[in-house]
Amino acid sequence: MEKIIIAGFGGQGVLSLGQLIAYAAMYEGKEVTWLPSYGPEMRGGTANCSVVVDDKPVASPVIAVPDCLIAMNKPSLHKFENNVRPGGTVIVNSSLIEDKVARSDVNVRYIDANAIAHSVGNDKAASIVILGAYIKASGLFPEAVMLATIEKVFAAKPKFIPSNKDAFLAGFSA
């Protein structure tokens, strides 16, 4: 079982990032829940989602102690960092968060997601960069599964597929 909390501001792709993981789980025949939570402001307000992936049916989408926290902004890091299980992973968007994770009992990855997204020519793909870093760190799915998921999810807008794949691969390599 993998329990993930993804958090940031509305408009950062937080909910979409969770959906991509959930879709990949479904395509792989896993059991999955995706639970969004966002303020009334939407873009610019707080947003987070919980994703649980398992081989067995998931009893609850609510996560008290995540295996992984993906923090896209500073308030999200401070809100959820202490909930991550010891030995878990915290992935930090270091483009927007200069603070360091205070805990020494978790694995931390600092990803300059906005700069990496810019370097591949897709400024809006910081969340896809983070997805690549998460998949590499967690090993939840093979790289090919996520690339195929990106193709399926963006099938209605095929012009976005190459740049999102590039962003994913750049994050996977970061």
pLDDT at position 45 is: 73
Q: What is the pLDDT of residue 39?
A: 72
The residues of the chain scoring below 70 in pLDDT are: 40-44
In terms of residues, how long is the chain? 174
pLDDT of residue 91: 98
* Residue range of the domain that includes 49: 2-173
Degrees to nearest 5, angle at CA 164 with 159 and 169: 140
Confidence at residue 173, expressed as pLDDT on a 0 to 100 scale? 97
What pLDDT is attached to residue 128? 98
Q: How many CB atoms lie within 10 A of CB 83?
A: 13
pLDDT of residue 84: 98
Q: What is the pLDDT of residue 42?
A: 58
CATH number at residue 88: 3.40.920.10
Q: How far is residue 43's CA from residue 33's CA, in Å, rounded to a whole number?
A: 23
Q: How far apart are CA 35 and CA 33, in angstroms?
A: 6
pLDDT for 10 equals 87
- Residue 43's pLDDT is 64
Give CA–CA dist 91/134, Å, rounded: 7
pTM above 0.85, yes or no: yes
Cβ neighbors of 1 (< 8 A, separation 6 or more) are 52, 53, 54, 55, 56, 58, 67
Q: How many domains is the chain partitioned into structurally?
A: 1
